Structure 1
Amino acid sequence: MNIGIDKIGFYTPEQYVDMEKLAEVRGVEPAKYTIGIGQERMAVASLHEDAVSMAVNAALSILDDEDRKAIDLVLFGTESGVDHSKSAAVWVHHLTGIQKNARSFELKQACYSATGGIKMALGHIALNPESKALVIGSDIAKYGLNTSGEPTQGAGAVAMVISSDPRILVLDNDSAALTKDISDFWRPLYSDYAFVDGKFSNESYLSFLEDVWENYKEKTDRDLKDFEAVCFHLPYTKMAKKAILRLTKDAKEETERLMTHYENSIVYNKQVGNIYTGSLYLSLLSLLEQSSKLTEGSRIGLFSYGSGAVGEFFSGTVQPRYEDFLNKEMHEATLENRRELPIEEYEELLQKSLPKDGSDFEAKSDQLSEGRAYLVAIKENIRKYEIK
C-alpha cells in the first residue's frame, strides 16, 4: 500500500522584518544575515497569533469536506505549546470542523515532533486504509532582542493530510533514526526563551546526519545517486548547504545536483525564518513548488533533527501530476502580500507578551483579517479562538 502526503499547505503571519534593516540597526554587516545564515525576511507573530491559530490557518487552507469526514487522527507537533494539559490538537480539531470520532493529541521533541507525527500517521493508515490523518508542525521561534539567536527567529505552520494513494509524495518505509541525550538546545518550563549552545548544536546536527545516513545506506543499499534532491530541517537556510557538503564530501556530480535543488528548497524558508517543527516541511513544500526539474518517481531524501536530540533520515517519491495538487500561487501571494514591520515596531512587539498572572486578554478586532483564525481572548484563564 502506498501512503504519504496527499495535501500540504502553510501559513505565516502577515508581517515580517527585513533582515538587512535589522542588521543595520544591530551594527552588523547585512551579508552576515543574508549570506552568512541565508535569511532575507523574518516572520513576526502578533499577540493574537500563536501555534494553535497558525496551525488552524494552515489546515484550513487545504481541508475540504471529504477530508473532514475521513480524518480520524490529528497529530500536532510543536515546542510552542499553550497549555500544559490540553493539547493544541484539540483546538485544531474543533476549529477546522473535523468529524468528532477522531483522536487528537500533541507531540513534543524539539523540531523533530512533526516527523514523529508523520511516522505515527503512516502506521495508522496502514491499519486503517480508508482513514486520513492531519499532521501539523507549528511554532514561534523567539530568542529576544540583541541575542545571538535573534536573526534565526520566525513563525509559521505547515499542515499535511496523510492518506493512502497520496497525490503528492509517497513516503517510503525506510527510516533510519537516532536518539542521544545531549544539551544543545532546550527551554525550561520557567523560560520564555530557549537556551542554546550554538556551535555544539550545529555540530550535533551534522553528526546526527552522518550517523543516520550511514545507517540508512546499510538498511536500504541506496546512495546519493538514488536521490534527485534532499530536504533538511532548516534552523536557518545556510544549514542545508553545510549538510549537503557533509553528505557529498565534495563529490562534484552529487554536489551540483543537490545544490541546484537546495536553492529551490530554501525559497520559502528564506522569507519566513525558523519555524521549528515545520521547517523541514516548509523546505519540502518550497522544493515541490519552486523546482522545475522534479519528475514523477523522483526520490527526495528528508532529514529531520530535533535538539536534545533525535534525528531521522527517510525518503519519498514524487507522484504523477503532483503539481496539480499544490497551491503555489496562493503560497507565493501569502509571502508577497505581508506588511513590513519597521524595526522600532518590531522591537516593541517582541517585548510584549500575554499575561502570566491570570489577567484577561482581548485582541484588537482591527488587527484581524477575514477568514483567519486568531486567539481573540483569554478570559478566566481559558483561551478563546475564533475564525473571523
Structure 2
Amino acid sequence: MTAVGIDALAFFTPNTYVDLTDLAQARGDDPAKYTIGIGQDQMAVAPASQDLISMAANAAAQLPAGSLDDRLGLVIVGSESGVDESKAAAITVVRLLGLSPWLRAYDIKEACYGATAGLLAARDYVAAHPDRTALVIASDIARYGLAASGEVTQGAGAVAMLVSAAPRLLIVHDDAVAYTADLPDFFRPTGLTVPVVDGHYSTQAYLDFVTRITARHQEQYGDVLTDYTALLFHLPFTKMGKKALAALTADDRLEDRRQAASVLARRVGNIYTGSLYLSLLSLLCHDKSMRPGDRLGLFSYGSGAVGEFFSGTLAADFSDRIDAAGVTAMLAARHRLTVPEYEAMFNAQLPLGDAAATVPLGGDSARFTVGGRRDHARWYRDNTQHEGD
C-alpha cells in the first residue's frame, strides 16, 4: 500500500507580539508565573488586519513552489475562529490562492481538534485517490480577554499542510484511536467574542484523555512508549505538554524532545487547532538529532471534547520540506508591542455584525490582509496586487 502523509508544512503568525515579562509586570504578577508556571515567553497578537482566512492563505502561500498544482482535490480549514456562520473559510482561501475551482473545500470545527480531523480526512482521501493531493490548514486566534485568567494563553497563527501519497515529510499511519465525551470544559456560544472556560476542569479532562487514549492505542496496536523517538502534544500552553508527558512516562529522552517541540509555542502562544502541528514544526526546526525513520506519536485534544492519538514516521527528505530559516526570520522580524499597544490592538477588532467597515493596513506586512467588510461580507487584500477584492 502506498504511504500517505504530510508532504510539506508551512507556518504563519502575525508580525506583532507582546513579551510576557512586560505583561506580567503590567498585571502585577511575578514573570515566573508566566514563563515557568505556564511555560510561555511571548504571545502573538493579531491586528484587525488578520483573521483566520488571511492567516490561512498566508501560511499556504509559503508552501514550497508548485505544491498547490492541478493534483489538488481537497482543501480543509480547521478552525474555531470562524467569521461566518454559514460560508466556509476554505472557499475564500481557494480564491485568494488562485487555486483551481475543481476541488472540494470545507471547514471543520471542534475546538482545537479540527485540524486533526482534517488531516486524517485528507489522509483517507489521498489513500483512495493517490494521484491527488489535499491541503489542510489550521488557523486560529486565541482570545480570552484583557486581564482575564486565560490572557497569558492567547496567541495567533496558522499551519498549512500538503497531504500526498509518497510524502516527503511525515508518513501518517492508519492507527488513529479517538475518544469522545460531552464535557462542559470550554465553549463559545454564538455572539460571544471570547470563550467560557473552566481551566482546571479542562486541564484534568486533557490529562484523562491522553492517558486513556494512549493506553487504548497500546492495547490495539501493541506499541510501547519506547517505540517513539518523540511524543507531540496539543499545546494550549507549553506546561500542558510537560504535564501530559509526565502523566505517561518519566523518560528523559522524550522530555528533551518535548522541550524542542515547545520552542515555537513559547514564542507564539496558543493557536488552537494548529498547536499540535506547530509542535511538529518546532521539533524538526530545533532538534537536529531527528532522523528519517524516526517514529513520532501525536496527541490531539479539542475541548468539548474529542481526543485522538496517532503515529507517523519521518520521511527521507523531511528537513527539506520545512523552511526553518524562514520561520526564524519571521519571528525575528516581529514588532514587540508595549502593553498599552497590545491592549489597544486587542480592542481594535472588526466588530461583530455586517455593517460596512474598512480596516487600515497599518504596519501589517503580510501578503494577505483583511480589508474590511462590504455587502455584509469581509473582503481581503492581496498586497502583491495592491488591491482588494
**Map 1:97-112 → 2, pairs under 5 A:** 97-112=98-113
Flag the 1:134–1:357 CA change in 2: closer, same or farther, 3 A. Answer: closer
Distance 2:212 2:67 in 1: 41
In the alignment, the residues of structure 1 paired with residue 209 and residue 291 of structure 2 have an alpha-carbon distance, to the nearest angstrom, of 29
Q: Does 1:297 align with 2:298?
A: no
1:372 is aligned, of 357, 362, 367, to 367
Q: Match for residue 382 of structure 1?
A: 377
- How does 1:241-320 map onto structure 2 within 5 Å? 241-248=242-249, 250=250, 255-320=251-316
How far apart, in 2, do the equivalents of 1:380 and 1:105 lie?
Answer: 22
> Which residue number corresponds to residue 226 of structure 1?
227
Aligned to 1:330: 326
Q: How far is 1:348 from its partner?
A: 1.3
Is 1:354 aligned with 2:355? no
How far apart, in 1, do the equivalents of 2:59 and 2:375 lie?
28
**Structure 2 residue aligned with 1:164:** 165
Q: Is the contact made by 1:68 and 1:97 (CA closer than 8 Å) also made in structure 2?
A: no
Counterpart of 1:161, as a letter, is: L
**Aligned letter for 1:223?**
V
- Report if the CA contact (8 A) 2:47-2:349 is conserved: no
Alpha-carbon distance in structure 2 between the residues aligned to 1:357 and 1:134: 30
> What is the distance in 2 between the residues matched to 1:277 and 1:26?
28
Give the TM-score, by structure 1 length: 0.97
Q: CA deviation at 1:238?
A: 0.7
| Structure 2 CA distance for aligned equivalents of residues 329 and 38 of structure 1 | 24
SS at match of 2:90: helix
TM-score by length of 2: 0.96
Match of 2:172, as an amino acid?
Answer: L
Distance 1:267 1:357 in 2: 37
Find the aligned partners of 1:185 and 1:324 in 2 and give their Cα distance.
38
Letter matched to residue 32 of structure 2: A
Deviation of 1:355 after TM superposition, in Å, equals 2.8
Q: 2:82 corresponds to which residue?
A: 81
1:30-49 alignment, distance < 5 Å: 30-49=31-50
Q: Which runs of 4+ in 1 moved over 4 A?
A: none
Q: In 2, Cα distance between the equivalents of 1:87 and 1:357?
A: 17
Kept in 1: contact 2:15–2:364 (CA 8 A): no
Q: Secondary structure at the match of 2:130?
A: coil
Structure 1 distance, partners of 2:352, 2:138, is 25
Question: Which AA in structure 2 matches 1:386?
Answer: R
Amino acid at match of 2:258: Y
Q: Which residue of 2 aligns with 1:210?
A: 211
1:220-251 superposed Cα distances (whole Å, 9 cap, x missing partner): 10001100000000000011110111001x3x
Question: Helix, strand or coil for the counterpart of 2:284?
Answer: helix
- Give the letter for the 1:361 counterpart: A
Query: Which amino acid in 2 is paired with 1:385?
Result: Y
Once the two structures are superposed, residues 176-227 of structure 1 have per-residue CA deviations (whole angstroms, 9 ceiling, x without a partner) of: 1100001111110021110111111000000000111011001110001100
Structure 1 vs Structure 2 CA RMSD: 1.1
Unaligned ranges ≥5, structure 2: 384-389
Distance 1:357 1:78, change over 3 A: closer
Q: 2:341 aligned to 338, 345, 358, which one? A: 345
1:268-320 Cα shifts (integer Å, max 9, x gaps)? 11000000000000000100111111111100000000000000000100111
Given that 1:112 and 1:305 are in contact with CA atoms closer than 8 Å, whether structure 2 keeps it comes out as yes
Q: Return the alpha-carbon distance in structure 2 between the equivalents of residues 215 and 274 of structure 1.
A: 27
Match of 1:28 in 2: 29
Q: Secondary structure in 1 aligned to 2:168?
A: coil
Give the equivalent residue in structure 1 for 2:199: 198
Aligned identity (percent) is 45
Contact 1:9 1:61 in 2 (8 A): yes
The alpha carbon displacement at 1:326 in A equals 1.5
- SS of equivalent residue, structure 2 residue 74: strand
Q: Provide structure 1 residue ranges, at least 5 long, that are not aligned to the other structure.
A: none
Q: In 1, are the aligned partners of 2:67 and 2:162 still within 8 Å (CA)? A: no
Pairs aligned (count) = 382
Rounded Cα–Cα distance in structure 2 between residues aligned with 1:14 and 1:25: 22
- Give, in whole Å, the separation in 2 of the partners of 1:217 and 1:181: 24
Q: 2:176 corresponds to which residue?
A: 175
Which digits, 9 at most, give the CA deviation of each residue in 1:88-134, with x for residues without a partner?
Answer: 00011111122110000000000001000011101100110010000
Deviation at 1:362, TM superposition (A): 1.2
